[in-house]
Homo-oligomer: A and B are copies of this chain.
Amino acid sequence: MTGQLKSFIEVAQDSDFPIQNLPFGVFSQSREGKRRVGVALGEWVVDLAALEANGCLNLHPNENYFNQSTLNTFIESGKSNWSKLRAKLQNLLSADNPELRDNLVLRDQVFFKQSDVILHLPVHIPGYTDFYSSKEHATNVGCMFRDPKNALLANWSELPVGYNGRASSVIVSGTDVVRPSGQIKLPNSERPEFSACRKLDFELETGFIVGKANRLGEPVSIENAWDHIFGMVLFNDWSARDLQQWEYVPLGPFNAKTFASSISPWIVTMEALEPFKTHSPIQEPQPLHYLREDHAKNSYDIHLSVELKAKNAEHTDVISQTNFKYMYWSMAQQLTHHTIAGCNLQVGDLMGSGTISGPTPESYGSLLEITWNSSKPLTLSNGEQRSFIQDGDTLIMKGYCQKEGLRIGFGEVSGKVLPAIQFNFTAHTAEEKLSETV
């Protein structure tokens, strides 16, 4: 069993990155330094560009997969290559193999402490789509903003509702997020005002990275959909609830979402997640044919949590704990639905799961739900209260799978919120400014 495979590199028992994981990322040794592809192992990054240059990988003659600033070239090389590399790396890094273990000169070129390098966006993301596939989340939102008795819209149970997001504003974990500004309409005002967002929220999500393209006009069948998925990341879909409420009818969220969306730096492959396959909820009504698949093994048992660290606070507070397995629509169903009308997906596309909420308040995936739109504020361990995110707050999401001594983790996606820009509408009178800027 793979759980018994050990590396010559010591990996802590509770590490997210044992030799059974080997998630992919892109790193450099300085901010402007040369970017290349690596995998995480314990607290190290293994430099695949260095291994490739030293002839240790030999996936394909004359190929340059890893001396690259993104993973796209490698991902495009295909699923059989992903498996081939995984097997090679597990062999090369195993405690039993002297090739790298005993080559101290090469080891010096290949291993870097994660704390000493800079992690970048692992892929170029040509397109980003966000789904809305947690029944609990959609129900909570429906209860708050529509009718508690008819919380789910009729289409929700028939198709994985999704919308096109903005790919350019996807950022890597650790990047600060500037509080957005825009139009807010207060209930008692006749007109909207221009203001910094007052209801800044996170959304706990995962995302998957498309590993295989399909051509325009050629849908991917549900049977083939899993072959089009390279791996998964943690995903924080930052949301400005007040901007969203005013803008989103009838064409969907726009400025409320396009100011930042954060992903974790390590892409965990579907192969690494394989031991944690589990069943998704039974779908009732049974989906139409094109979305029909066996629900016995189409989800993953991934523990997810959200922590909030207030400015100057000594401790972080865990404010949500949930699990990916609650998702109603599977990743394969999302991908197939996305292409059924002919849309072409591209290698590197990011598909957000939608907020992942579980059945209880402790497992809700957004502050909107946790505080029930401010009606039940959170009290942090430092005594402060939160309805929504305040300036200086850092949000940290973590994820891992665990069973029988095997832990496959995602690391984290974090982001700190900075104060909004001070706008100065110089062309206008002070009186006008006062009335519209807050």
Interfacial residues, chain A to chain B (CB-CB below 8 A): 126-127, 132, 153-155, 158-159, 161-169, 171, 178, 180-183, 185, 191-194, 197, 216-219, 223, 240, 243, 246-256, 258-260, 285, 288-290, 292, 337-338, 340-346, 349, 421, 423, 425, 427-428, 432-433, 436-437
Contact = CB atoms under 8 A, between A and B. Distances in A.
Contacts of A132: 251
Contacts of A162: 251, 254
Chain A interface, >50% SS class:
loop
Contact of A247 (B161, B248, B249): B161
**Residue from the set A161, A171, A183, A254 with the largest chain B CB neighbour count within 10 Å:** A254
Contact of A249 (B153, B259, B337): B153
Contacts of A165: 164
Contacts of A240: 341
B342 A260 contact: yes
B164 A254 contact: yes
Nearest to A290: B194
Contacts of A249: 153, 155, 250
B258 A343 contact: yes
B126 A168 contact: yes
A155 B183 CA distance: 9
**Oligomeric state, in copies:** 2
Given A127-B166, A168-B343, A421 B219 contact: yes
Contacts of A292: 427-428
A248 to B, nearest CB: 7
Contacts of A337: 255
A121 to B, nearest CB: 12
28 contacts: A126-B167, A126-B168, A153-B249, A154-B185, A158-B191, A159-B192, A161-B250, A164-B254, A168-B343, A168-B349, A169-B342, A169-B343, A178-B216, A178-B342, A181-B219, A183-B288, A193-B288, A194-B290, A217-B421, A248-B251, A250-B252, A252-B253, A255-B338, A258-B342, A259-B342, A259-B343, A288-B436, A290-B425
Contacts of A433: 289
Contacts of A217: 178, 259, 421
A193 B287 CA distance: 10
Nearest to A175: B216
Contact of A341 (B158, B255, B285): B255
B163 A288 contact: no
A186 B337 CA distance: 19
Given A161-B247, A162-B254, A252-B251, A216 B341 contact: no
A127 B247 contact: no
B289 A436 contact: yes
A243 B161 CA distance: 12
B159 A247 contact: yes
A168 B215 CA distance: 10
